[in-house]
Structure 1
Amino acid sequence: METLTEKINPNKALWEKGDFTRIAQTMRESGAALVATLGIRKGMHILDLGCGDGTTAIPEAKLGATVLGVDIARNLVAAGNKRVQEEGISNCIFKEGDATGLYDLNDDSFDMTVSIFGAMFAPRPFDVAKEMVRVTKPGGVIVMGNWIPGDPTLVAQILKISTAYTPPPPEGFVSPMLWGVETNVIERFRAAGIDPANISFGKSTYTFNADCTPSGFVDDFKNYYGPTMNAFDAAKKNGKSAQLQQELEALFARENKNINSGKTSISATFLLVKVKV
């Protein structure tokens, strides 16, 4: 039986909808490549926040860190724990939790907190920044990967197109895409006690590699990615499903750089944030 909290938490419902692991499978190579640049050493304690099924958490563990993956979606936590069990990884565990209130995690617990396209989607961004700073040890580092509003590459455009078909958000809603704006990141971490001089930015790319055509990859987003699923639900009510499908297929075909028939490779630009605590 659902609790009242579960019924009124739209963020939890969004990420438990569908099966994001189907999308995450196309992100594995880029996840491991990003982790390899973070200076992770054996024995480090890492929090991977908004971890999904372990796209970055598992590579972190393979470098010798002790990793706790936290995600709001029960199905993704279960999928992550299944992956580590199948791979025989003993230094990584996944548990359910909310980035806006990591109540069961102690202050100063982690050498590094990593959140790649995860915590950015949580509501109350100032609470998210405060919690990430709180659980990270002094001298530690926070790493975020955030999609950039208005960016012409894949994910920002998927979310932009999807938003055009969905009802207006409730009053007080803060777009997750604002985590991709440097001034907002500085403001949020400054409120959590971080000197702006300790915040650095760069741009990087994630490449989605799918063993299907671009139109087949659109179907994966349509059937398994919460935001796109919601957009299609709304479009269907308005008789615009075909129009949404056409827009997304044109986007995916345009962005595909794989010359092999039946395969798709699409890069997406994101803001890489590093915060010294």
Structure 2
Amino acid sequence: MINPNKALWEKGDFTQIAQTMRQSGEELVAKLGITTGMRVLDLGCGDGTTAIPEAQHGAEVLGVDIASNLVAAASKRVAAAGLANCRFQEGDACNLSDLPDHSFDRVVSIFGAMFAPKPFDVAKEMVRVTKPGGKIVMGNWIPGDPTLVAQILKISSAYTPPPPEGFISPMTWGIEANVLERFGQAGIPPEHIACEKDTFTFVAPFAPSEFVRLFKNFYGPTMNAFEAAERNGKAAELERELTELFVSQNKAASPDSTLIPAAYLRVTVSC
């Protein structure tokens, strides 16, 4: 049976979007206290936006992603960078059974594990593979937030059929009470969980309308929205709504380039 989450992330080519996230990825990794010799698991690693900077800080990094095309792209990037301390493999954040208990100093998942369908399993697995005294760091988009990504997903969902019964929205990871409950069930007391709002900035050398085109053609959730909108004769309407959103949020000095900040919840769990 096809894993729908795997199908979603293999559908497009997230590397096209990830190129606009490199700068913020590096800035975030610089805050994580990663030092030479640490073992880091980067979960839902995509094509290595945070995994490669982690390796550049001297860590031994394993990147895991459900999408085989992104694992291949990440492996290509790490080879080009000449980093021997970073490797990538396919895997599912809901079940990391091939990874031993207590084997990582840091488990990092920036806009990755939040999309896995079983959040309690995800929390349990992340805690299990983290060493005592280690840390888990998640970056999760915040539902209803007025900034870019929450609004893309909100607009897109208005054009797509309702999700199947029992579906848990990835955006629920952006709510502090859910974070406390999920890690609480994995054995972490609330005083060991810190949540703070942070900002991730998308930077691109082209106009916001071109950025919308990337989301339309390469980002699984938006691709699904456009397919559904196409069937209802509403694709032009969806594109117009997204273009208005991107243009209104663009902070770049020139309308021919893109600089859009997006708020997210940064979660730090001390194991």
Q: 1:34 maps to which residue?
A: 28
Q: 1:96 maps to which residue?
A: 90
Q: 1:235 maps to which residue?
A: 229
Identity level (%):
69
Partners in 2 of 1:255 and 1:149 — Cα distance? 17
Amino acid aligned to 1:245: E
Partners in 1 of 2:50 and 2:31 — Cα distance? 12
2:99 paired with 1:105? yes
Amino acid aligned to 1:45: R
Q: 2:189 maps to which residue?
A: 195
Identify the match of residue 186 of structure 1 among 180, 187, 192.
180
Aligned residue runs from structure 1 range 210-229, under 5 A: 210-229=204-223
Q: 1:266 maps to which residue?
A: 260
Amino acid aligned to 1:271: L
Partners in 1 of 2:97 and 2:195 — Cα distance? 29
Residue aligned with 1:26, SS: coil
Identify the match of residue 244 of structure 1 among 232, 235, 238.
238
Aligned residue runs from structure 1 range 1-277, under 5 A: 4=1, 7=2, 9-277=3-271
Amino acid aligned to 1:140: G
Amino acid aligned to 1:82: K
Partners in 1 of 2:198 and 2:221 — Cα distance? 23
Partners in 2 of 1:18 and 1:11 — Cα distance? 12
Partners in 2 of 1:145 and 1:68 — Cα distance? 18
Partners in 2 of 1:18 and 1:118 — Cα distance? 15
Amino acid aligned to 1:256: N
Partners in 1 of 2:81 and 2:51 — Cα distance? 13
How many Å apart are 1:261 and its aligned residue? Answer: 3.6
Residue aligned with 1:67, SS: strand
- Post-superposition Cα deviations, 1:127-181, rounded to whole Å, max 9, x if no partner, equal 0000000000011000000000000000000000000100000000000000000
- Post-superposition Cα deviations, 1:17-49, rounded to whole Å, max 9, x if no partner, equal 110000000000000000000111100000000
Amino acid aligned to 1:221: F
Partners in 1 of 2:224 and 2:205 — Cα distance? 24
Partners in 1 of 2:140 and 2:168 — Cα distance? 15
Amino acid aligned to 1:187: E
Aligned residues: 271
Amino acid aligned to 2:191: A
Partners in 1 of 2:176 and 2:197 — Cα distance? 11
Partners in 2 of 1:180 and 1:119 — Cα distance? 12
Alpha-carbon RMSD: 0.5
Residue aligned with 2:206, SS: coil
Partners in 2 of 1:224 and 1:262 — Cα distance? 21
How many Å apart are 1:88 and its aligned residue? Answer: 0.4
Query: Runs ≥4 in structure 1, deviation > 4 angstroms?
Result: none
Partners in 2 of 1:276 and 1:243 — Cα distance? 45
